[in-house]
Amino acid sequence: MIRLYSLLALIDLVLIICALISCLSAEEYEIRALPRIVWVILILLFSPIGPIAWFVAGRPARPIKLSNGTVWKPGSGFPENERPRPMAPDDDPEFLKRVAERSRKEDEDMMKKWEADLRKREEDLRRREAGE
């Protein structure tokens, strides 16, 4: 019976050491579910459940071979602040330039219409004053 307990204690110690080495050597952004410090506490305090939970739920995911032959590693994409996103219209310089040109043309056309209308009204007013 003592041999069985010592064997189980040895297996538990090896499991704890392997889980700690794996946890501490993994990159921080690859660790899943919890922060690294929480995983270390779980591994050390809740033996053998902590190390088993690390290997099941916390360890970085393995790369996956896709059907087209490429390998995809979870989390290997862009960091969130560098992720390419569709550009909003108000951030696109070409769009803003087109809007400014269109707006300028519309403003010029409207100004010409207003000036023509003002000239027409002034002429009508002069004719009325001259006719009186």
pLDDT, tens digit (0-9, with 9 covering 90-100), for 94-107 = 888 888 888 888 88
Is residue 78 located within the same domain as residue 123?
no
Structural domain count of the chain = 2
Of residues 91 and 40, more confidence is placed in 40
What band does 83 get if pLDDT is binned at 50, 70 and 90? low
Is residue 69 located within the same domain as residue 124?
no
CA distances from 29 to 35, 41, 112 (A): 9, 18, 61
Output the pLDDT for position 20. Answer: 94
Contact 58, 32 (CB under 8 A): yes
The pTM score is 0.51
Of residues 73 and 33, more confidence is placed in 33
Is residue 70 located within the same domain as residue 12?
yes
Output the pLDDT for position 61. Answer: 76
